[in-house]
Structure 1
Amino acid sequence: MSHRSSSFLVLAVIGILTALSIFFASRLRFDYNFDNFFPKGDPDLAYYLSYRDKFGNDNDYLLIGLDNGSSIFDQDFLTRVDSLTRFMQRQPHVESVLSPTTVKSPIVEQFGYFEIPYLHVSEPERYTLDSAMIYSSRELVGTLFSEDATAVSLFVQTSDDLSKGASDTLIAAMYQQLEHLKLSRNHVAGKALAQAVFIEKMKIELAVFMSASIVLVIVFLWVAFRTAWGVLVPLVVVLLSVVWSLGVMGLFDKPIDIMTVLLPTIMFVVGMSDVIHIMSRYITEIGQGATKIQALRTTLREVGLATLLTSLTTSVGFLTLLTTSIVPIREFGVFTAISIFLAFILAFTVLPAILLLIKRPNPQRARRIDISWPLLLRRLYGFVLRKPKPILYASMAIVLVSMMGISLIRVDTTLLEDLGDDDPVIKDFQYFEDKFSGVRPFELHLIAGPGKTMNDLEVLQEVNKIETYLYQDYGLNFITSPATVVRTINRALNGGLNNYYTLPESPLGMQQVKRRLDTFNKRSELRSVVTNDQQEGRLAGKMTDVGSVRAAELNDSLELFIDQYINPALLQTRLTGSAVMLDKNNEYVVSNMMQGLLIAFLVVALLVGIIFRSLRMVAISLVPNIIPLLMIGGIMGFLGINMTVSVSIIFTIAFGIAVDDTIHFLGKLKLELQQGKSLPYAIKRTIISAGQAIIITSCILVAGFLTLVLSSFDGTFYVGVFVSLTLLFAVAADLLLLPVLILFFYKPARK
């Protein structure tokens, strides 16, 4: 079979596989599930899920803040708030609505039970008395009513694990009604809104990243090759790799989430690396008068093994993300690693097939394209030979300064760490922190002591101690618990007077409360804080989002208080909840990152050891790739950027990509040494031969990753910035420091 026929056959097979990829890619959907970021496999997660089954999800809610600008005690404003309340109560997937216009104070008298509204919306003459009653009731201020009396909030309890479609429908209906009622000063927070906003942002950013990457790559390809085929051929190959990547995700029914939304962009620029190395070497051979077949054979022989190894190291960099306990990051690592090998396969099948089918490039033009690079790279090598010691000293100084910066890094996270400070969602969350109780949930599991129940007075007194501490020292602004329910009933039994919003003072008083509790045992308010057997309870609250570091300090102090002042024979407790689970990721951030880097180092060391059979060369190869990581760590420390889950993955990704240049450099050096050349001359030939491809691919990679700075997600933004910086530092280290290290410390084996 002729080479031409073989090329057509390869392209036909690729065409069929591409069609299948397009079919599976068309099934992809966008998804954002908050729960996926809990640390899988952690025993505390299993405990939290069991707790959630008993008391409900602490995240399935919407907060609607309505600001009047002036006093809320305005009939027109309150009437519109009441209309919104009634509207939300009628919506599908809404379990209940706690609203300032419907909240009531229960009163139990000799002749029966009745409830008095705190707000008499249609009777403005009673607003003064209403205001006095509301602002003497601690449980209402900071929850439904702001402390400055200029805003109110609605707490909308939604169905458990609301789907994306149901969330979108509810959010759209809510905003439409807000507009209809002219409640323009509104602020909304909650899981349903965050899910809708995150997914919409992902859709927009995927389109922006890909468009920007394509434009930038076209520009760089034109600058590098200055021919139409030099732009179009690589572009087609890399676009195919992106389509195949999305097809694999569709095949395994993996949705596009906040992590995998990066995959197409990463594949576009990383996949270009293999293509550029092949194209650069091919053009060089054509410029030297080789035929297409000769040029391709030489190219595949000289860059094939190095490209295979770089694909392997890059894949390993992403596969090390399997060390994390967070499912979206693990899946991102796996699918990106698979996609990198698909890109390798396409580069060594489609690209040669196309090059064989298209017209042979003009040798003179190919020489003109190739002629300026050797001059530049010879000067670069001349600089290395003239300044080896300054390069070494500068590198050591950079390491010392970087270590100082790394010592300043803090591991800290917030609930919405991926959104920037100016994002509307963050501003709405900030509004609830400024005006109301905050948005960070607090959950404490209460377990009655042996032979006790949550409705025993002595147990409730222990709960009351904890509540007092949480209000005064911990920073909770709102609490609901079995004790708050009992206090509410005790007040109802005493004419609704706020002076009686306390636990009963005597066993007789508690007996009266228990009788009322028995009649309310099917009400949702009671079931959400006490189990049916009365053995377990829930203390829930809201506070400002203080960050994981401060939260850990507060939790330690709380546990110390409980150990000292709470009788375990009466009450046992355990902290849990979604906020605690997200904070637990902090415990894994540094260890997961170090495990991932260690695995990547070992794989690179193994590959270099196989190539050179020299431990000294293994150490030499790692140095120019570790220094860039130290540099970005130092920059993060000096800039005060916290180490979060989304930021920690930068190091393993960056190392896996940056080490590619080192592998190409050492692979070419090995070939030169095998031809009997001296070490200095072999390094010179390596820099001249491989330097062009290293610089071009690094520029394309940097440009591609820099498109990620357009993201409104902080994690994505930092991936773009710091991976780009790592690649710049790495190419400088490979072309300046690596040759010096080899000259000083490597002794080739004599034949």
Structure 2
Amino acid sequence: MQQFFKFIISKRKFFMWAISFLSIFMVFEISQLKISYDFDSYFAKNESFYQDFEKYQSKFPLGQNHQIVVTLESQVGIDSSFGSKANAVFAEIEQLKGIKKANYFSKISEFNPSNLNGGEKKLVDFKSESSFQESMQYFKSRSKIYQSFFSKDQKSVVGYFTIEKELFNLPGRDTLIHSIRQIVTSSKVKFHLFGIPVMRSIYSEKIWNDFLVFSIVSIALLVLVLYYLFRHFLLILIPCLTVVMGILWNFGLMSLFGFSINMISNLLVPILFVVGISDSIHLISVFYEKIQHGLKKEDAIIESLKEVGKATFLTALVSSTGFLSLSFTSAEAIKFFGLFGFTGIIITYFLSIVIVPSLLLVLDENFFYKQTSVLNQGIWTKVFSGIYSLAHEQKKKVLLIFSFFVLISILLIPQIKTSLFFTNDVKSKDALAQEFSYFEKNIGYLKPFEFVIRTKAESQPINLAFVKGIEKIEKELSNDSNFGAIYSMIFQLKYANYLLHQGKMEYFTIPNSEDKLRYLLKEISNRADEPLFNLNGKKEFYFASKIRDEGSEVMEKKEIQLKHKIESSLPVQVKFTGFGHVLDQSNKSSRTDIFWGLLGDLIVVSLMMAFLFKKSKFILISLLPNLIPLCLLLGIIALLGIPFSPANALILVVIFGISIDDTIHFLTHYLLIRKEDSQAIRSTLLTCGKAMLFVSFLLMAGLGITYFSDFEAISNLGLFGMITIIFATLTEFLITPILLDLFDPI
């Protein structure tokens, strides 16, 4: 690689001009970068459960996933005055462009018995207070479906507004929600807003806020750390310029190839800052040492690149491989994160070996003799000599302490919680989580629960016995307090029978003859806006409800139990679908994919270590100090009872790829001097330890930025990232020297 570095230095003017022109182009591209409104990219789209979800959403477009729920709250109760005001607010919302369908209390009508499409007589009467209260009592006597228009304490009214499907993943969704907020705010009535479109709108806003905060704070943090290290404006500017240009290039590539930023891609900003700056710190710190030993700056640059250039190339290769392993996951958002994590690290490495040496050579040689870097202060000799003494003289105690905590962590790992909740993405104190809690407590459940019953054969007759079997299942679900109102063929049949008998409530039942059943099924299929069944080929019957959010594991158990119960009593197959099911299954699938990616990363890194260091013992020496921190992290996650989400699994891949960088720097320098230096371990600590320590601090600070994200998963990544880097630094300074002492004695 020495010839390659000499070529870079000799052609540095050409490379600098090329980088300058490309950077201008990338600045233009990044100005076109957009926020992703497509949150379906977090789902495992190539899995069968997602394909079923799309198929049934097309067949049975009930619109639960596209529904905005608006609650207007009265302080004293629902009287005619409040009812009239609520009616006016809901009617104004209904007129907004993008609202496909609206359902609210004052819109419900008494239907014409001769017409399944209904009539004009409204159930709610605003003429007088007495007539209004009488109509309210009528609502209370009806099924869960009608009761869902009011809060449990009868102080709030609820409106359900289905937006156009085309708006669901477009900026127009946010514009529509903003208009709804303006309408309800101007009414001066206390309100609550929820629904999957609302969640996604708030997420989009948070994504942009995170991107700005991460970018600004990362730059500020970088400047402070570099000032502390190098104490001069120019030596701050050079690494900053390198990393900022690397990030610009990477996000410019995103825009160039039509990608948008999302919740996970925001993590690339602090990660690339800390990973990119580590190469510059290692290079500048070694350059300083060479200058202090009397080398001319040209010779110092070549020697510095010779000493750390190979190590920085290897660290870039290993770190980028970790990210690349994520590109094989099912979820597009994680795949996209892995791909651009890979390109970002490679780009930043290339820029660092061109820009840093080129700009250092421009500076006057006397400049470096005048500068006093923290990295060159004598205190570090005492610090790292003490660390070496501890590792060398107290190795048994050190190994015993680490072994004890690793053993405890291994025992705790099986206790890790894997059950996730509907609002796991945001912190429990976030306004969105509070709104969700309010709705579940006062209005009804919000997590969609949907499934399809499908006959095993096309010839399966749909007779009264079969329909009553389905009705029995629905009754059991309706009587379960964990379920909300259930929409299905059963309700449609009962309602059609009710209409057929001039609105008499005693006929709100399944028809009592096969002829009536066939007639009503045909009428509903032909005339209802959204028939919840399909009688062509293998018959399909769609059920939609909302369920109490008790976690993904509880929901999965309920699904298994319900599937067994239905399939053992009827000749059918059951398939679960809906947003809630897809969300839970995608989380489970992504978590598994990331673990397989980590395993693949370990294998690839092991092969790289074997190829680079030629001896199998160095595989153990390089991997063990980096696996211990991951094991300890999993133990802490289990101890704190934090659910293990895909984002938490992502931490393992990211941290492993980053933390092994220091190991490679350590081993590369150690092998370079081991034949000539009988104290090679101590000398390596003294030479590399300073940069490794400051890079670790920078990593902790950089990842710590994400702790302040509004997203719980991203915040956890920051917290766990800091903890893991502390563990990784300890193992690097203590375990790596001990392993070298034991397995590679000089």
Q: What TM-score does the superposition give when structure 2 sets the normalisation length?
A: 0.94
CA distance in 1, matches of 2:612, 2:662: 15
C-alpha distance in structure 2 between counterparts of 1:448 and 1:715, whole Å: 41
Give, as a single letter, the amino acid of the residue that structure 1 aligns with 2:127.
S
1:28 corresponding residue in structure 2: 33
Paired residue for 2:686? Answer: 688
2:317 aligned with 1:348? no
Match in the other structure for 2:122: 117
Kept after mapping to 2: 8 A contact 1:310/1:660:
yes
Equivalent position SS for 1:441: strand
Which stretch shows the higher mean deviation, 502-511 or 25-34?
502-511
When residues 3 and 406 of structure 1 are mapped into structure 2, their CA distance, relative to the original with a 3 A threshold, is closer
Deviations 1:169-216 (CA, angstroms, capped at 9, x unpaired): 211221111122222x21111232222211111111111112222222
Match status 1:435 vs 2:450: no
The superposition leaves residues 553-593 of structure 1 with CA deviations (integer Å, 9 ceiling, x where unpaired) of: 1111101211232x21xx54321122211211344355323
CA contact (8 A) 1:213 1:265 kept: yes
1:164 equivalent in alignment to 2:170: yes
Q: CA deviation at 1:19?
A: 0.7
Tell me the equivalent position of 2:3.
none
Equivalent residue number for residue 501 of structure 1: 508
Task: State which of 537, 540, 545 in structure 1 corresponds to 2:544.
Answer: 540
Q: Residue 326 and residue 654 in structure 1: after superposition, are their counterparts in 2 closer, same or farther (change >3 A)? A: same
Point out the more displaced range, 211-220 or 305-314.
Answer: 211-220
The aligned residue for residue 477 of structure 1 is 484
Which residues in structure 2 correspond to 1:665-676 (within 5 Å)?
A: 665-674=666-675, 676=676
**Structure 1 position 97, deviation (Å):** 0.2
In the alignment, residue 742 of structure 2 is paired with which amino acid?
F
Q: Which residue of 2 aligns with 1:677?
A: 677
SS in 1 for 2:424: coil
Change (3 A) 1:137 1:536: same
Q: CA deviation at 1:390?
A: 0.8
Q: Aligned residue for 2:741? A: 743
1:417 matched to 2:424? The reply is yes
1:182 counterpart (174, 188, 192): 188
Match of 1:325 among 330, 341, 349: 330
Deviation at 1:529, TM superposition (A): 4.9
Task: Return the offset for 1:742.
Answer: 1.0
List alignment gaps of at least 5 residues for structure 2. Answer: 1-5
Match of 1:561 in 2: 565
How far residue 274 of structure 1 moved from its aligned partner, in angstroms, is 0.6
Shift of 1:261: 1.5
What is the Cα deviation at residue 115 of structure 1?
5.5
Task: Tell me if the contact between 1:710 and 1:717 (Cα under 8 Å) persists in the aligned partners.
Answer: yes
Gaps of 5+ in 1: none
* CA spacing shift, 1:615–1:451, aligned 2, 3 Å: closer
1:545 is matched by which residue type in structure 2?
D
Asked if 2 retains the 8 angstrom alpha-carbon contact of 1:454 and 1:535, the reply is: no
Letter in 1 for 2:483: L
**Compared CA separation, residues 369 and 363, structure 1 to 2 (3 A):** farther
Counterpart CA distance in 2 for 1:576 and 1:643 is 23
**What is residue 59 of structure 1 aligned with on the other side?**
65
Q: 1:316-363, CA deviations, whole angstroms, 9 ceiling, x for partnerless residues?
A: 111121242111011001001101000000000011110011222332
- 1:98-122 deviation digits (Å, cap 9, x = unpaired): 1111112435279997454332133
Work out the CA distance in 2 between the residues paired with 1:549 and 1:456: 36
Distance 1:739 1:106, change over 3 A: same
Distance (Å, rounded) in 1 between the aligned partners of 2:672 and 2:312: 14
What is the SS of the residue equivalent to 2:574? strand
Residue 75 of structure 2 is aligned to residue 69 of structure 1: yes
Q: Which residue of 2 aligns with 1:404?
A: 411
Whichever residue aligns with residue 619 of structure 2, its letter is V
The 1-side partners of 2:224 and 2:522 are apart by: 79
Q: List aligned pairs for 1:627-706, cutoff 5 A.
A: 627-674=628-675, 676-678=676-678, 681-706=679-704
Question: Which piece of structure 1 moves more, 31-40 or 721-730?
Answer: 31-40
Between 109-118 and 478-487, report the one with greater CA deviation.
Answer: 109-118
Aligned partner of 1:13 in structure 2 is: 18
Aligned-partner Cα distance in 2 for 1:362–1:516: 89
How far the C-alpha of 1:720 sits from its partner, in A, is: 0.8
Q: Per-residue deviation at 1:401?
A: 1.4
Distance 1:578 1:86 in 2: 28
Q: Residue 358 of structure 1 corresponds to which residue in structure 2? A: 363
Q: Return the alpha-carbon distance in structure 2 between the equivalents of residues 378 and 95 of structure 1.
A: 72
Change (3 A) 1:371 1:438: same
CA distance in structure 2 between the partners assigned to 1:258 and 1:367 by the alignment: 38
Which of the numbers 188, 197, 200 marks the counterpart of 1:195? 200
Aligned partner of 2:233 in structure 1 is 228
Counterpart CA distance in 1 for 2:546 and 2:136 is 23
Equivalent of 2:402, from 395, 398, 410?
395
User: How much has 1:394 moved relative to structure 2?
Assistant: 0.8
TM-superposition CA deviations, 1:152-175 (whole Å, max 9, x none): 211111111414321122112211
How far the C-alpha of 1:254 sits from its partner, in A, is 0.8
Instruction: State the 1:500 CA deviation.
Output: 3.1
Between the aligned partners of 1:246 and 1:348, the Cα distance in structure 2 is 20
Q: 2:495 aligns with which of 488, 491, 511?
A: 488
Task: State whether residues 455 and 482 of structure 1, in contact with CA within 8 Å, keep that contact through their aligned partners in structure 2.
Answer: no
Partner secondary structure for residue 140 of structure 1: helix
The secondary structure found in structure 2 opposite 1:39 is coil
Aligned residues: 737
Which AA in structure 2 matches 1:527?
A: P
Letter in 1 for 2:283: I
Q: CA deviation at 1:3?
A: 10
Residues 65-114 of structure 1 deviation map (CA, whole Å, 9 limit, x = unaligned): 12213322x11211122112222222222111011111124352799974
Decide which of 461, 466, 487 is 2:468's aligned counterpart.
461
Out of 94, 101, 121, the position equivalent to 1:96 is 101
SS in structure 2 of the partner of residue 538 of structure 1: strand
Distance 2:597 2:114 in 1: 67
Paired residue type of 1:536: E
Decide whether the 8 Å contact of 2:99 with 2:161 is kept in 1: yes
Superposition RMSD on alpha carbons, in Å? 2.5
TM-fit CA distance, 1:687:
0.4
Secondary structure, in 3 states, of the residue corresponding to 2:144? Answer: coil
Q: Classify 1:187/1:472 alpha carbon distance in 2 versus 1 (closer, same or farther; 3 Å).
A: same
Q: What is the rounded CA distance, in whole Å, between the counterparts of 2:425 and 2:82 in structure 1?
A: 35
Q: 1:294 to 1:79 in 2, by over 3 A?
A: same
The 5 Å alignment of 1:697-736 reads: 697-736=695-734
Amino acid at match of 1:303: V
Q: Distance in 1 between matches of 2:373 and 2:161?
A: 70
Q: Deviations over 1:698-751 (max 9, x none)?
A: 111111110101100011101111112111111110111110111012246xxx
Deviation at 1:450, TM superposition (A): 4.3
Give the drift of 1:656: 0.3
Between the aligned partners of 2:370 and 2:441, the Cα distance in structure 1 is 70
Three-state SS of the structure 1 residue aligned to 2:161 is: strand
8 Å contact kept, 1:245–1:264: no
| Distance in 2 between residues matched to 1:118 and 1:3, nearest whole Å | 81
Does the 8 Å CA contact 1:412/1:586 hold for their aligned counterparts? no
- 1:295: Cα distance to partner? 0.8
| Cross-structure match for 1:130 | 135
Deviation at 1:312, TM superposition (A): 0.8
User: CA-to-partner distance for each residue in 1:377-405, whole Å, 9 max, x for gaps?
Assistant: 12221222221111110110110111122
1:280 to 1:4, Cα distance in 2 relative to 1, 3 A: closer
Secondary structure of the residue aligned to 1:154 is strand
Q: CA deviation at 1:369?
A: 5.0
Query: For residue 230 of structure 1, what is the amino acid of its counterpart?
Result: L
Please give the alpha-carbon distance, in whole angstroms, between the structure 2 residues aligned to 1:594 and 1:410. Answer: 16
User: Displacement of 1:124 after TM fit?
Assistant: 2.2
Distance in 2 between the 1:118 and 1:454 partners?
Answer: 38
Paired amino acid for 1:585: S
